[in-house]
Amino acid sequence: MKYHKKHLLAFLSSALLLTTGCEKDLLDQPNPNLPTAETFWKNSQDATKGIVAAYSGLQLLGNYRRWIYFDYDLRSDEGFSSSPWPELQNFTKFILTDYNFEVNAVTWGNHYVGINRCNQVLAYVPAIQMDGTLKTQILAEARFIRALHYFNLVSLYGRPVLATEPSTADYRPPQASSEQEAWDFIVQDLQAAKAGLPVSYSGADLGRATKGAATALLGKAYMQQQKWAEASTQLAEVISSGRYSLAADYRDNFRHDRENNSESVFEVQFTAEYSADRDDDYAGASEASQRAQFFGLPSKGWTDGEARSWLIDEFLREKTTTGRKDPRLAATLFFSRNRTGYPYDATDPVDQDDKAYDNQTLDQRFSTDAYNRNRVYWRKYENDYWKNVEGYYSPINHRVIRYSDVLLSQAECLNEQGKTTDAMALINLVRRRVGLADLSGLSQSALRTQLMHERVTELAGETWRWHDLRRWGLLDNQAGIDQLKSRDPDFSNYVVGRSKYLPIPRTDVDIAGLAQNPGWN
């Protein structure tokens, strides 16, 4: 489902103004052409437009269009930024002096724009006279989307503001008293979403949130709290449903022409359609992803986001059963086979996946430029497979949850409960897809370490690494930070007790009287 905003009413772009009353005097008359909450929510068509607008909140700059990848992928040990914009580069190095810096402020603010749209649906759709099944579904979709927004907010900020009503001038929602209160709120939303969502869609509705999506995200929410049994119960439901399977080709998960496939549990839908303004949020504005432009290699994109070289070593730890390199390496990264320190056998034949745009390898592209040739670039979600340049209008959907992630997550939950043999069976399903040999005979401790490797090789660059580091406790003590620092020197700037959370933008702290996160003045 591509969530086109064309013909949606303008109120969905400025929710606060349109839910605020105005003085009734001669100099302040309401615009009769401007819809308000009282005049808009009348029928099932309006309810449908409202939920489409809620989905579009996931396409905002501070969400899956652009900045979320800097928040997660580049602040983890998998990536970094060498952007010529110093503040952006410093953001990924845990150096932030201006709490209102664009990436931080827009991430926080855009998530609340999306939450407010969900809250409007939840507040006004119940009173609409419409088909009951459709109403239940739309309300459940709103709860799922709101939960996904809060999943990001609690993971990045710890204690978000828990807004449950449409925004008005007088509404002052409370800040979560603890991170646990925020997780409890997310769980409640997902339980309600799970109960009201259908198991599947077809036709133009393909891509909307399903029961499986809510169940999987609920499982992952329990995992982040290390509630292994509760998480396992949810993830087992997704697996036993029989609705999902691994795509035959790993790379199909990062192409615009293989979207919403059998492996997809939930995707943020993007298209290459655009208006004259690529950033604004209004009816008819761009619904394209900008990740490819910001992560594209030199001359093809901005290269504001790069990958750490240790990822190559991780992929090269073992060969396939036929003696070849793990095919996920070439699907994940652009790199030179002749780069300094590259440990792989130079006699290994070059295959098509070593080539990038214009059917050139990095050695060919940067034949006289050793600096660029030795950098490591992200290939996931780039458009090199069908065109030779990047831009602001990538149509590639972002796969928020894939079935392989469900399998690996369930394996982790089972292993933590002592069911190590059962856990290995699930991991082996993921490994077989890319031709790796089955695991066997590992202890619980050894499999815990192995899972850290498996999640990197399967999910690198997909926004989950930061969550993994949090769950494994590596962000909570200096020993963990020293381990990360050995792979990513940016962690030299990480301060235990402060850097785990981003600071709440100062504007919001000052205006709303919010408690700032620890260590941030």
Q: Mind listing the pLDDT tens digit for each residue in 182-222?
A: 999 999 999 999 999 999 999 999 999 999 999 999 999 99
Q: What is the pLDDT of residues 84-123, one digit of tens each?
A: 999 999 999 999 999 999 999 999 999 999 999 999 999 9
Instruction: Tell which residue, 267, 268, 266, 288, has the closest CA to residue 277.
Output: 288
Does residue 455 surpass a pLDDT of 60? yes
User: How far is the CA of 337 from the CAs of 251, 329, 342, 355, in angstroms?
Assistant: 20, 12, 7, 11
Confidence of residue 363 (pLDDT cuts 50, 70, 90): confident
What kind of architecture, by CATH, is found in domain 1-197+478-521?
Alpha Horseshoe (1.25)
- Mean pLDDT (whole number) for 362-373: 89
Confidence of residue 496 (pLDDT cuts 50, 70, 90): very high
Count CB atoms within 10 A of the CB of residue 205.
Answer: 11
> What is the pTM assigned to this prediction?
0.93
Q: For residue 38, what pLDDT is reported?
A: 73
Contact 500, 475 (CB under 8 A): yes
Which of 20-34, 156-170, 245-259, 384-398 comes out lowest in average pLDDT?
20-34
Share above pLDDT 90 across residues of the chain, in percent, rounded to a whole number: 81
The mean pLDDT of the chain is 91
Type of residue at 491: F
Contact 202, 213 (CB under 8 A): no
- Per-domain residue ranges for the chain? 1-197+478-521, 292-378
Q: What is the pLDDT of residues 329-351, one digit of tens each?
A: 999 999 887 776 666 555 665 55
Q: What is the pLDDT of residues 25-49, one digit of tens each?
A: 445 556 666 677 778 999 999 999 9
The dihedral sign for the CA sequence 431, 436, 437, 442: negative
Does residue 14 surpass a pLDDT of 70? no
